[in-house]
Amino acid sequence: AQSVAQPEDQVNVAEGNPLTVKCTYSVSGNPYLFWYVQYPNRGLQFLLKYITGDNLVKGSYGFEAEFNKSQTSFHLKKPSALVSDSALYFCAVRDSGMNYGGSQGNLIFGKGTKLSVKP
């Protein structure tokens, strides 16, 4: 069965420092990987995704993520954190090997990581 793990409930970073939010996954086929951000009292906003090709994916607001097949990871990164980046971040996976006629084609989400950036 496909699954996603976000091992850190919370990540604290000082403004201007680089940030990393970790995500590991488990699928039977090749993964499609997504990152979403949720600001307080808002819906989820799409940040970036990995489908195929270059392992480094660039997304919105200066975020990027690195796909590592051998480590089954898709960590979210940003070179210089802003206070406004403080939010809840979700990693999600869809298994390319699944039958999309059934529930297996749905996105599976991690439990989320709260990012706190202090001035």
Partner 1 sequence: NAGVTQTPKFQVLKTGQSMTLQCAQDMNHEYMSWYRQDPGMGLRLIHYSVGAGITDQGEVPNGYNVSRSTTEDFPLRLLSAAPSQTSVYFCASSYTVAGGQTQYFGPGTRLLVL
Give the chain's length: 119
Which residue lies nearer to partner 1 by CB, 17 or 55? Answer: 55
Q: How far is the CB of 44 from partner 1 (least distance, A)?
A: 4
Residues in touch with partner 1 (CB under 8 A): 9, 32, 34, 36, 41-46, 49, 51-52, 90, 94, 96, 100-103, 105-107, 109-112
Contacts of 37 (CB under 8 A, 6+ apart): 44, 45, 47, 61, 87, 88, 89, 90
Q: How far is the CB of 88 from partner 1 (least distance, A)?
A: 9
Which residue lies nearer to partner 1 by CB, 4 or 81? Answer: 4
Q: Which amino acid is at 5?
A: A
Which residue lies nearer to partner 1 by CB, 28 or 106? Answer: 106
The sign of the dihedral angle between the CA atoms of 56, 67, 23, 93 is positive
